[in-house]
Amino acid sequence: MKVLAIETSCDETAAAVVSETDDRAKPWRLDSNVIASQANIHREWGGVVPELASRQHLRDVCGVVERALADASATWSDLGAVAVTQGPGLVGSLLVGVAFAKSIAWTYGLPLIPVHHLAGHIESLVLQHGELPMPAAILVVSGGHTSLYFVPEPGRYLLVGRTRDDAAGEAYDKVAKLLGLGYPGGPIIDRLARSGRDTAYPLPLPRMTHADRNAPEAVASGLLPPSVERRVDFSFSGLKTAVQRLVRRLTADGHTLTDGEVADLAASFQRVVIEALLDRTFEAARWLGARSIGIAGGVSANSRLRADAEARGQRLNLPVFVPPLALSTDNAAMIGAAGLRRYRQGTTAGWDLNAMAALPL
Ligand code: KG4
Ligand code: ZN
């Protein structure tokens, strides 16, 4: 079966065609993957402006879907289903995709499959590499999310940890903004950090313990021993504030940061973020008895995160999987993959399907 997938949860209008294969170990094939990025529109504002995003989705969605079909050499009658991101995301943006997918499914009499955006990021790994050795520990790290899942079998996602405040990608974007580097900040910091010294500035490594005041209820209850169940949460807003204070101190006497200082700041910030992400992911993997680790979402495009994760995995003899760059940041191919998984689990949506900004997985 071929599925047309549509993703409009944030600032990329994306459509893809994904087919099922006969191979259970590598269940899906990518036929086309089209993305219209709005980064140039939002750059001027230093971040995504929701109202501008939904209007731009409206302008782009028809062309993007037509192009996805053409690239796949497919016609409407080749399709067996339509998959769409139902949430989480910006509600105005999601609504464009959901309404569009519904009309196509209605017009051609096709089943409609609702997909959770983070299930999409997780399944981007399977789309590329085939089924991972199970059980797996999978970190989804993007501009909106930093969540760690235990996947005991394909298609079952159990949350074991998540950020208590900012997502890691959000921290990259905010730090880039306060260094005057532009949007989105992740790829810029990634590039600048290569020429910086990562120990130039001591920055605090955020670490959650069971003793934190006002700690929310642990999400990993029952999955991890009580002594460690809270230690897999993340926190990045304190780190961002530490960078902000440091920059203020360095520039207090009217000094303008040199290119070298900016590179050192980028490298020092990045080292701390990546250590926090990988420490927690590898610790959780050990406690959960995971046989593989996956890292997906926009921040998984980061060159140092990929290299460090790979090196740790090799040391521990634990295979580490990341998506190719085109499937790291938001795309519809991953929604097609997760959609086919859900369809085979027996889930379809009715015509009352609605976008949900805070859809739980
Ligand atoms: O998954 P994604 O495209 O959208 C969300 O679902 O949020 O992730 C976008 C995030 C942005 O915060 C962006 O700065 C970050 O991913 N990002 C990176 C890199 N490329 C994108 N962060 C660090 N290094 C990168 N190379
Ligand atoms: Zn995403």
pLDDT score of 227: 74
Confidence of residue 211 (pLDDT cuts 50, 70, 90): low
- Of 2, 5, 11, 3, nearest to 43 by C-alpha is 11
Q: What is the pLDDT of residues 296-306, one digit of tens each?
A: 999 999 999 99
With a 6 Å cutoff on the Cβ, whether 161 touches ligand 1 is: no
Burial (CB count within 10 angstroms: exposed 0-12, middle 13-18, buried 19+), residue 125: buried
For 194-213, b/e burial (b = at least 16 CB within 10 A) is: eebebebbebeebebeeeee
| pLDDT value of residue 48 | 87
Q: Please indicate whether residue 173, judged by its CB atom, sits closer than 6 Å to ligand 1.
A: yes
As a whole number of angstroms, the distance between CA 268 and CA 271 comes to 5
Tell me the whole-structure pTM to 2 decimals.
0.95
Tokens standing for 98? 């959901």
Say if ligand 1 is within 6 A of residue 329 CB: yes
Pocket flag, ligand 1, residue 190 (CB < 6 Å): yes
| Beta-ladder partners of 85 | 115
Q: What integer pLDDT is reported at residue 287 of this predicted model?
A: 93
pLDDT at 273 > cutoff 80: yes
Q: In the Cβ-directed half-sphere of 209, how many Cα atoms lie within 13 Å? A: 3
Name the closest-CA residue to atom 10, ligand 1.
Answer: 143
Whether ligand 1 lies within 6 angstroms of the CB of 142 is answered as: yes
Candidates 37, 299, 302, 335: which one to mutate for ligand 1, based on the most atoms within 8 Å of Cβ?
A: 299
Burial class (CB in 10 A: 0-12, 13-18, 19+), 46: middle
Residue 285, phi then psi, degrees to nearest 5: -60, -40
CA of 297 from ligand 2 middle (Å) equals 5
pLDDT tens by residue, 132-168: 999 999 999 999 999 999 999 999 999 999 999 999 9
Q: Is the CB of 93 under 6 A from ligand 1?
A: no
Protein residue closest via CA to atom 7 of ligand 1: 143
Whether 210 shows a pLDDT value over 60: the answer reads: no
**Token duo for residue 208:** 């959650």
**Is residue 184 within 6 Å of ligand 1 at its C-beta?**
yes
Lowest mean pLDDT among 29-33, 169-173, 210-214, 277-281: 210-214
Minimum-distance ligand 1 atom for the alpha carbon of 173: 14
